Amino acid sequence: MQEHSSKVRSSDLKPHRSLFERLTALISPEPENRTELLDVLTDAQERHLIDADALAMIEGVFQVSDLAARDIMVPRTQMDIVDISRPIEEWIPEVLRAAHSRFPVIDDDPDKVVGILLAKDLLRYYAEETFDVREMLRPVIYIPESKRLNVLLRDFRANRNHMAMVVDEYGGVAGLITIEDVLEQIVGDIDDEYDFDEEEDNILALENKGNGKRWRIKGITELEQLNAVLGVNLPGNEGQTIGELVSHHLGEVPHKGDEFQIDTLHFEVLRADAREVQILQVEQRPTALAHE
């Protein structure tokens, strides 16, 4: 006797949409650009279809394609560098204090990075009688300031690199960037056992522009510290951060690139996600300019 086929077409397993659902899909336009797509995703988060962390990471993915290495690099003046022209006994304490996993290495010339030193390779110094730090150095990867972060992340993964030196238009070292710096644009700050929340790192003075002083400020900086360093008197509650003040002032969490004025301070958002402001650039303008 011939057996009947027990196979069921996959289309038969799909739930049939109601007439209302089909009509809604027909008349509801799909997002035509990134802004409209983010609006849809924000609405989904507000209706608890996705959580805030998922929305923030999606925004971070979009942001990575917009940012370049110059936007998030560690400036040259803030880099922890090993100078192997000095005796190793002199700079090892500096390596221990900085507690990074990788260090750019120079050989007396601060304008020329000769290699990358992995902190774990220094264990051989304590275990071997003969130790030549030059043999431990890894190759240096150079990238232009304009390199997009999404391209850089792909290169990091493909070449299994974790650090690159950023060079300016004249070929000089402008700073450094790590794969962790790029990933933090997507998932937020990645803290490990060596990261410390030191208040002196919250406010970084930048080169003055015209008559105004400029700073790069973390959103977690408390107003008390900001007022003391900048010499201003922004009102706020005890323990309130500048990120919280900015969000309260605008009535919402601002987006990257937003600019606004509070008193004599001009703010530009350098990094933010759906939950909070992360980094701001602040310029203290003369009173006449601030009120133009």
Tell me the pLDDT tens digit for each residue of 29-42.
Answer: 676 777 788 788 88
For residue 97, the surrounding DSSP H or E stretch is: helix 88-98
Is residue 88 domain-shared with residue 41, that is, in the same domain?
no
Is residue 100 domain-shared with residue 61, that is, in the same domain?
no
Between 12 and 90, whose confidence is greater? Answer: 90
Is residue 181 domain-shared with residue 203, that is, in the same domain?
no
Give residue 287's pLDDT band: very low, low, confident or very high (50, 70, 90).
low
Please report whether residue 83 resides in a domain. Answer: yes
CATH number at residue 275: 3.30.465.10
Task: Kindly tell me the burial class for residue 8, based on how many C-beta atoms sit within 10 Å of its own C-beta (0-12, 13-18, 19 or more).
Answer: exposed
Residue 193's alpha-carbon distances to 46, 99, 101, 186, 196, in angstroms, are: 34, 10, 12, 21, 8
Please report whether residue 9 resides in a domain. Answer: no
Radius of gyration of the chain (CA): 25
Among the candidates 157, 187, 217, a domain finishes at 187
Among the candidates 41, 66, 91, a domain finishes at 66
Is residue 154 domain-shared with residue 218, that is, in the same domain?
no
Please report whether residue 128 resides in a domain. Answer: yes
In the predicted model, what is the mean pLDDT of residues 164-189?
Answer: 87
Is residue 183 domain-shared with residue 275, that is, in the same domain?
no
Is residue 45 domain-shared with residue 125, that is, in the same domain?
no
Please report whether residue 21 resides in a domain. Answer: no
Please report whether residue 6 resides in a domain. Answer: no
Task: Please tell me the pTM assigned to this model.
Answer: 0.57
Task: Report pLDDT for 97.
Answer: 80
Tell me the pLDDT tens digit for each residue of 191-225.
Answer: 554 444 455 578 888 777 666 788 888 888 999 99
Tell me the pLDDT tens digit for each residue of 237-246.
Answer: 888 999 999 9
- Write the DSSP assignment of 104-157 as a string of letters: EEESS-TT-EEEEEEGGGGHHHHH-SS--HHHHPBPP-EEETT-BHHHHHHHHH
Is residue 182 domain-shared with residue 256, that is, in the same domain?
no
Give residue 147's pLDDT band: very low, low, confident or very high (50, 70, 90).
very high
Is residue 118 domain-shared with residue 203, that is, in the same domain?
no
Please report whether residue 194 resides in a domain. Answer: no
Give residue 289's pLDDT band: very low, low, confident or very high (50, 70, 90).
very low
Tell me the pLDDT tens digit for each residue of 107-137.
Answer: 988 888 999 999 889 888 888 778 888 988 9
Which residues form the domain of 204?
199-290
* CA dist., res. 5 & res. 72, Å (int): 61
Please report whether residue 24 resides in a domain. Answer: no
Task: Report pLDDT for 286.
Answer: 65
CATH number at residue 173: 3.10.580.10
Among the candidates 187, 210, 243, a domain finishes at 187
Is residue 74 domain-shared with residue 62, that is, in the same domain?
no
Task: Give the number of domains in the chain.
Answer: 3
Is residue 47 domain-shared with residue 74, that is, in the same domain?
no
